[in-house]
Amino acid sequence: MPAIDYRTKKGGRVSGVTTIISGNLAWNKQALMYWAWNEGKEGRDFRKTRDAAADVGMIAHAMVEGDLKGKPYKPAVGIDKSIIDKAENAYLAYLEFKDVVGLKMIESEKSMVSEEFKFGGTIDIAAIKKVTAIIDLKTSKQIYADHKIQISAYGKLWNENIPENPIQAYYILKLGKEDGSFSYHYFPPDALEKEWMVFKALLILHNLKKQIG
């Protein structure tokens, strides 16, 4: 997916949620370094493993978006079959979740900009499960702190732009690439305030880094 050019109403360019988090959240770097070291120890190039995992996630997201929009996604010719198989497993997990909760789409891949805090973001799914909710899809092996920080920022974006229909629940949906399983983590609207505070601190750091070069 190409990078989205987030701009304020006055035309100013702002950074996206994932850019702000990935470029400034340092406490998860040690685990990533260990993972890369272990990949090398096992004789694998961590870059190939990382890129394959990213491809699985992107294809699975595209499949989910295609279902939500009624336009089935077909992977491009030439993609490794093992990557497609894992993406399809994740997609089947999503379909199971959709059936269990009676998922109804409001928006898919909704891009927004915060005029107050000057950042942008694209929400995977805004859906109704009895109440208005944001559901973020993940194909990682577990849910990490940065996932919760990310979804808290998405909630602020939504509530600022659509205050007449505020978010009343947050869900992080973890889709199993290997076995097609799913699990979800639920957060009420006031449960992610600490994560939002962390995001605001990362945003300050992100902007200061640009100022001092």
Other C-beta atoms closer than 10 Å to the C-beta of 190 total: 6
How many independent structural domains does the chain possess? 1
Our CA angle for 127, 132, 138, nearest 5°, is 45
Q: Are strands 169-175 and 104-114 parallel, antiparallel or unpaired?
A: unpaired
Helix (H, G, I), strand (E, B) or coil at 122: strand
Q: What is the dihedral of CA 30, 33, 4, 90, to 10 degrees?
A: -100
Please report the pLDDT score of residue 65 as a whole number: 80
Please check whether residue 1 lies inside any domain of the structure: no
Beta-strand (E) ranges in 140-190? 169-175, 182-187
Phi, psi of 136, rounded to the nearest 5 degrees: -110, 130
- Asked whether the beta carbons of 175 and 139 are under 8 A apart, the reply is yes
- The pLDDT score that the predictor gives to residue 159 is 96
The distance in angstroms from the start CA to the end CA of the chain is 28
Q: 90-120: string of b/e by CB count within 10 Å (b at 16+)?
A: bbbbbbebbeebebebbbbbbebbbeeeebb
Q: How does pLDDT run along the chain (213 residues), one tens digit per residue?
A: 557 999 999 999 999 999 999 888 765 555 545 444 454 655 655 445 444 445 777 888 788 888 887 888 887 777 888 888 888 888 888 888 888 888 888 888 889 999 999 999 998 777 777 788 998 888 877 888 899 999 999 999 999 999 999 999 999 988 877 777 788 899 998 999 999 999 999 999 999 988 886
Query: Is position 5 within any domain?
Result: no
Q: Is residue 56 part of a domain?
A: yes
Q: Is residue 199 in a domain?
A: yes
In-domain check, residue 124: yes
Say what the pLDDT of residue 130 is.
77
72 backbone dihedrals φ, ψ, rounded to 5°: -50, 135
Count CB-CB contacts under 10 A for residue 160.
15
> Does 78 reside within a domain?
yes
Nearest-angstrom CA–CA distance, 83 and 79: 7
103 within domain boundaries: yes
User: Is residue 54, in this structure, part of any structural domain at all?
Assistant: yes
The secondary structure of 35-97 as a DSSP string is HHHHHHHTT--HHHHHHHHHHHHHHHHHHHHHHHHT----PPTT--HHHHHHHHHHHHHHHHH
pLDDT at position 19: 93
What pLDDT does 51 receive? 44
Q: What is the CATH number of the domain that holds 31?
A: 3.40.1350.10
Q: What is the pLDDT of residue 90?
A: 86
* Range(s) of the domain holding residue 154: 17-212
